[in-house]
């Protein structure tokens, strides 16, 4: 700053990051003073200018909006996202699993600002979430297809097979007969899913399902608690709350659900298949909703641990709560991390029936279609007759059979 004598003064002061700081610069005949908060720093004369200025006091605020504190120690906030640099060396899969333990994903720099922040956060090569690894390589901790093939079994092998009461098979979301469970919307129609600990997602989750609602409300996936008080028997839960409304409530471990935030979206279509999802990430603190593979809403919860350690109910919470889900449910999935949009979309077809194995031509040459099965004597005689029973023709048959097995498609 230049005083009226034309002198220029300089001083330095430290300011606190991630908060607002009041800074005042006071100039007079005697020099300048920099006031930062409650501290004063006297300026040092470093130069002179011919141009004079008036005595002046300038007050300004410098800083940025305070970042919400990260719920897990060691993480650093930046633009609403929490990041952490892990020094230990791991493979990509191990690194992804380590992040999932904290309820997070490998960092993905989507712009130059995040890229610069990550560059200075670490001091060596680091795994990032942008890779060429197949996005479909996601593994649920619970998968209940709810169809004729698997019934209510947990297809992950984690041993949390559901017990179905008052349900029946019906057509599924992919046009497959017996590809879904039908729930009657009564107290006697529901699923009980045990929890041997593998379904305690604790830090983060994604719940996905295909639903065909015919009633006004009811639970799609509801964690119970270990309490005997029915009124407080609410863990994390994912519901249809009114006609057309999807609902995801995050419950902090050991806390009452009445104070828990919810995210709601008016997206459901009655009497039609809807692909729906709810997720939460404790690193970002954000709870989200997904509809037909698209992000449709979020809210901030900020919880570090979730109420997910008890058993689960589908379509009915308890007899006294008359909000029963009516309609069909198929391909119920639970993951222990918050999915990206690409992962949510890829998981949409996880339970889609594969086309039945059929014998198809492997390769066509001239007049023949070479197929992957042994020819009968009658078929051999037919081909032999077609080729004129020549040595060349027999060589052609042998070549055809050998070629088919070498180039199997």
- pLDDT tens track for 228-285: 555 556 899 999 998 899 999 999 988 766 678 899 999 999 999 999 999 999 878 8
Same domain, 101 and 117: yes
pLDDT at 65 over 70: no
Higher model confidence: residue 187 or residue 229? 187
Within a domain: 163: yes
Within a domain: 371: no
Alpha carbon 261 to its chain centroid, in Å, reads 18
Same domain, 108 and 10: yes
Within a domain: 384: no
Q: Which domain holds residue 201?
A: 136-348
* Count of domains observed in the chain: 2
Same domain, 12 and 93: yes
Same domain, 117 and 212: no
From 325, 348, 371, the end of a domain falls on: 348
Quickly count helices (H) and strands (E) in the chain: 5, 25
From 111, 130, 149, the end of a domain falls on: 130
Within a domain: 395: no
Within a domain: 180: yes
| pLDDT of res. 217 | 95
DSSP 403: H
Within a domain: 85: yes
| pLDDT of res. 96 | 72
Same domain, 146 and 272: yes
Q: What is the pLDDT of residues 30-46, one digit of tens each?
A: 566 777 777 776 666 65
DSSP 185: S
Q: Is the pTM of this model over 0.85?
A: no
Instruction: Give the CATH number of the domain where residue 242 resides.
Output: 2.60.120.200
From 130, 157, 174, the end of a domain falls on: 130
Place of tokens 């906030």: 77
Q: Which residues of 216-232 are buried (b: 16+ CB within 10 A; e: fewer)?
A: bbbbbbbbbbeeeeeee
């Amino acid at each position: 700053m230049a005083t009226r004598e034309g002198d220029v003064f300089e001083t330095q002061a430290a300011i606190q990051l991630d908060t607002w700081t009041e800074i005042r610069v006071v100039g007079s005949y005697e020099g300048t003073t920099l006031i930062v908060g409650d501290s004063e720093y006297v300026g040092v004369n470093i130069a002179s200018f011919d141009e004079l200025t008036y005595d002046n006091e300038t007050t300004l605020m410098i800083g940025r909006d305070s970042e919400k504190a990260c719920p897990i120690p060691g993480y650093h906030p930046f633009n609403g996202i929490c990041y952490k640099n892990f020094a230990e060396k791991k493979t990509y899969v191990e690194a992804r699993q380590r992040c999932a333990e904290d309820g997070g994903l490998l960092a993905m720099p989507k712009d130059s600002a995040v890229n610069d922040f990550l560059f200075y956060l670490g001091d060596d090569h680091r795994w990032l979430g942008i890779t060429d690894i197949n996005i479909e390589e996601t593994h649920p901790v619970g998968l209940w297809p709810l169809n004729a093939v698997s019934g209510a079994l947990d297809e992950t092998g984690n041993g949390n097979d559901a017990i179905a009461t008052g349900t029946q098979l019906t057509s599924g979301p992919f046009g497959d007969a017996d590809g879904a469970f039908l729930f009657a919307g009564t107290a006697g129609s529901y699923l009980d899913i045990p929890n041997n600990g593998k379904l305690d997602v604790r830090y983060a989750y994604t719940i996905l399902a295909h639903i065909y609602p015919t009633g006004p409300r009811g639970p799609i996936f509801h964690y119970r608690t270990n309490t005997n008080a029915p009124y407080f028997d609410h863990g994390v839960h994912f519901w249809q709350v009114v006609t057309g409304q999807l609902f995801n409530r995050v419950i902090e471990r050991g806390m009452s659900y009445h104070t828990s935030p919810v995210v709601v979206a008016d997206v459901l279509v009655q009497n039609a298949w809807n692909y729906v999802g709810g997720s939460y990430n404790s690193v970002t603190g954000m709870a989200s909703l997904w509809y037909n593979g698209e992000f449709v809403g979020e809210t901030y919860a900020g919880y570090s641990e979730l109420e997910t350690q008890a058993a689960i109910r589908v379509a009915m919470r308890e007899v006294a709560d008359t909000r029963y889900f009516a309609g069909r449910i198929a391909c119920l999935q639970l993951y222990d991390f918050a999915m990206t949009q690409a992962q949510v979309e890829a998981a949409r077809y996880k339970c889609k029936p594969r086309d039945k194995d059929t014998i198809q031509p492997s390769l066509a040459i001239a007049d023949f279609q070479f197929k992957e099965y042994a020819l009968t004597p009658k078929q051999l005689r037919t081909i032999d007759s077609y080729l004129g029973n020549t040595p060349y023709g027999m060589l052609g048959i042998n070549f055809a059979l050998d070629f088919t097995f070498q180039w199997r498609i």
